Amino acid sequence: MAFGVVLAAAIPLMYVIISSLGLDLAAWQGLWNNRLPGLFWNTLSLAVLVAAGCFVLGVSAAWWISRREFPGRRLATWLMVMPLTIPTYVFAHIYTVLMEDTGWLGQLWVALFGSAPPELFNIAGITFILTLAGFSYVFLLVQDALSRSQQDLEEAARIQGATPGQVFWRINLPLLRPAIAAGLAVVVLHVLSDFGAVSMLRYQTFTLSIYLQMNGRFDFNAAAGLSMVLVALSLTFLVLERFFRNRQRYYGSGRARRILPRRATRFETAMIWLWLGLIALFSVFLPVTWMMIWSWDAWLDNLIDAKFWGYVRNSMTVSIAAASITIVAALPVALYHARQRSLISQSFLYASSIGFVLPGPVIALGILAFVLANVPLIYGGLLVLVLAMVVRFLPLAIHAQESAAQQLTPSIEQAARSLGAGPWESLRRVTLPMIRGGIVSAWVLVFIDTLKELPATLLLRPTGFDTLPVRIWIEASEEMLELAAPAALMLVVGTLPILWFLMRPERSR
């Protein structure tokens, strides 16, 4: 079963490999000499800068929130997670408008500095945008790890005379390394596969270059060649990340005390809120206020009509279907790898990561070519779009479920079997309930990412089937802000209750 899922996930990769075979040696050399050095530099430097930005914002926010008790702590947690609901292209669009010399920030800049506001169409601008859109992943994972960490090691270090700073650098940071690595991995993969923001800000990464190659010149072979390089790059990165993570194991004793957050002094509270407020101002308040103002205009103009609610329904249908199918498809792969650590299970895991390392437009093309050639009957329906989403976000679900399944002790399942339960029954009554948390967060993650997905949806949506991101894209490129804003606001509003699920296990702890 795991094999079947992996096979389906590998369809786009097959397509890429076959298409890149069409490139002859001279064409490869041309790519190698002319395009690749620049693309490598652009893509890698962006990934490093965004990772650094997300590290600073994510770790600092997680540290304060989990180590200090201050008024509004729960609100702060929410504010740090909310940027997940805003797609990168919405961030990019809003900030280009705000930073124009007639925009809010642009006017403020001119008033303060007297010079023209800076442009976002460069690496600094795109780093700013992608950091705002991505630091929440680091925050979530680090905060989770921090809230589980135990007090004895830190106390031991303090008794030995270490300063708080030394404790942080020599005890906390190494212990947090797996969580930070996992968070940064998600961030980097999002950077590598981002299409919306880089195309709005015209910053040439691999993904954008592949898209332009396909659409500007109708050159599939060169696009496939570039995709192969990108896949190799991302896989190298994934293997490295796993390698560093696997070497880090720390087992705490079950009886150790969890750290309770210390009550913050007044000064600390002020500093914390100043810092978190600054982050939230740029990542939540400004964008959401902007959306609300323009949405209000749209409301007054009666632009929010039955059609608009149709887009909302379409988005929901695709996201719910994709999330539900993905968690079912991910289960065999995740369980297989958690139970049996072998070369095969490891390679299954990497093979199913394809969805995350191939750019969305390429996945869409691979699925399209496969469906048209083999199962043309389902073409034109929603199923094709949902299938692409499943392939694209399968790694997210596998990742979440696998980490939950790893905490399962095999003896519990063995006990179920020895008490006479069949494999299905033990799966249904023992395994699934025990990894429910992992399944729920897998569902939420896939749902959120599908809701925001743009490039594959643009190509694969059935005729006349517009989702919220598609409408945002069309209206924003025509500068019809009052039409783009309500759609963006709906994305935020629609994701909030779902996010609540993700945050819930944390409360009950």
Partner 1 sequence: MRIRFLSLLLAVSLGGSGVAAASELIIFSGRSDRFVKPVVEAFSQQTGIKVVLHSGSSTALLNKLKLEGERASADIYISNDAGNLQKGTDLALFKPAKQAVAERIPANYRAEDNSWLGLSARARVLVVNTGQHETDFVQSVFDLADPRLAGKLGITHSSNESYIAGVTVYMLKAGNDKTRAWLAGMKQNVDGKVFNKHSKIVKAVAAGKKSIGLVNHYYIYRYLDKHPDAPVAIRIPDQGKEGMGVAWNVAGAAISRYTKQEEAAERFMDFVTSAKGQALFASANREYPTRPGVPAAPEIPAVGSFKVADVPMADLGKYRDQTLDLIESVGMP
SS3 466: coil
Q: Determine if 96 is a binding residue for partner 1 (CB under 8 A).
A: yes
When the beta carbons of 170 and 428 are compared against partner 1, the nearer one is 428
Q: 306-339 vs 481-508: helix axis angle to the nearest 10?
A: 40
Binds partner 1 (CB under 8 A): choice among 10, 171, 369, 421: 369
376 is a contact residue toward partner 1 (CB under 8 A): yes
The least distance separating partner 1 from the CB of residue 356, rounded to whole angstroms, comes to: 22
Nearer to partner 1 (CB atom), residue 325 or residue 445: 325
State yes or no: residue 466 binds partner 1 (CB under 8 A).
Answer: yes
**Residue choice 321, 333, 357, 416 for contact with partner 1 (CB under 8 A):** 321
Nearest to 226 by CA among 397, 36, 389: 36
Decide: is 202 part of the binding site for partner 1 (CB under 8 A).
yes
Distance CA 86, CA 493 (A): 10
The three-point CA angle 68-70-73 to 5° equals: 95
Any idea what DSSP says for residue 71? T
Count of CB atoms within 10 A of residue 278's CB? 11
Q: With binding defined as CB under 8 A, does residue 462 bind partner 1?
A: yes
Please give the residues from 327 up to 356 whose contact with partner 1 meets the rule CB under 8 A: 328
The encoded tokens of residue 192 equal: 């590598």
Residue 243 CB partners (closer than 8 Å, separation 6+) = none
| Candidates 10-18, 123-131, 462-470, 489-497; binding stretch for partner 1 (CB under 8 A) | 462-470
Q: Is 303 in the site for partner 1 (CB under 8 A)?
A: no
433 binds partner 1 per the rule CB under 8 A: no
> Is residue 123 a contact point for partner 1 (CB under 8 A)?
no
Helix (H) or strand (E) holding 448: helix 436-452
Among 107, 150, 221, 324, binds partner 1 (CB under 8 A): 324
With CB under 8 A as the rule, give the number of residues binding partner 1: 44
Among 474, 503, 505, 506, binds partner 1 (CB under 8 A): 474
Cβ pair 134, 187 in contact under 8 A: yes
Query: To which H or E segment does residue 155 belong?
Result: helix 151-159
Query: Can residue 113 be called a binding residue for partner 1 (CB under 8 A)?
Result: no
Q: Which is nearer to partner 1, 119 or 301 (CB)?
A: 119
In the chain, what are the helix, strand and coil shares in percent, each to the nearest 5?
80, 0, 20
Please say which residue, 10 or 458, places its beta carbon nearer to partner 1. 458
**Maximum Cα–Cα distance across the chain:** 78
Query: Positive or negative, the Cα torsion across 33, 38, 39, 43?
Result: positive
Can you tell me the distance from the alpha carbon of 504 to that of 489, in angstroms, rounded to the nearest whole number? Answer: 23
The residue range among 148-156, 294-302, 343-351, 464-472 that interacts with partner 1, by the rule CB under 8 A, is 464-472
Task: Give me the phi and psi of 322, to 5 degrees please.
Answer: -65, -45
Among 52, 378, 412, 496, binds partner 1 (CB under 8 A): 378
Rounded to an integer, what distance in angstroms lies between the CA atom of residue 61 and that of residue 59? Answer: 5
Q: Which residue has the tokens 């002319």?
A: 34
For residue 60, the SS3 value is helix
In the list 25, 26, 159, 218, the residue contacting partner 1 (rule: CB under 8 A) is: 218
The bridge status of strand 68-69 relative to strand 262-263 is parallel
Work out which of 40, 78, 121, 350 binds partner 1, going by CB under 8 A: 121
Cα–Cα dist 465/244, whole Å: 44
Alpha carbons within 13 angstroms on the beta-carbon side of residue 348 total: 27
Window contacting partner 1 (CB under 8 A); options: 17-25, 41-49, 140-148, 461-469: 461-469
Report the residue from 386, 468, 476, 489 that binds partner 1 according to the rule CB under 8 A.
Answer: 386
CB of 160 to partner 1, least distance (A): 53
Shortest reach from residue 215's CB to partner 1, in Å: 4
Q: Where are the alpha helices (DSSP H) in 160-219?
A: 164-167, 173-193, 196-200, 206-216
Question: Across the strands, what pairs with 69?
Answer: 263
Q: Which of 45, 478, 501, 504 binds partner 1 (CB under 8 A)?
A: 478
Per CB under 8 A, 301 contacts partner 1: no
What is the nearest approach in angstroms of partner 1 to the Cβ of residue 96? Answer: 8
Pick between residue 221 and residue 324 the one whose CB is nearest to partner 1. Answer: 324
Regarding 459 and contact with partner 1 (CB under 8 A), the answer is yes
Query: In the complex, which residues of this chain contact partner 1 (CB under 8 A)?
Result: 96, 119, 121, 202, 212, 214-218, 310, 313-314, 317-318, 321, 324-325, 328, 365, 368-369, 372, 376, 378-383, 386, 428, 432, 458-459, 462-466, 474, 478-480
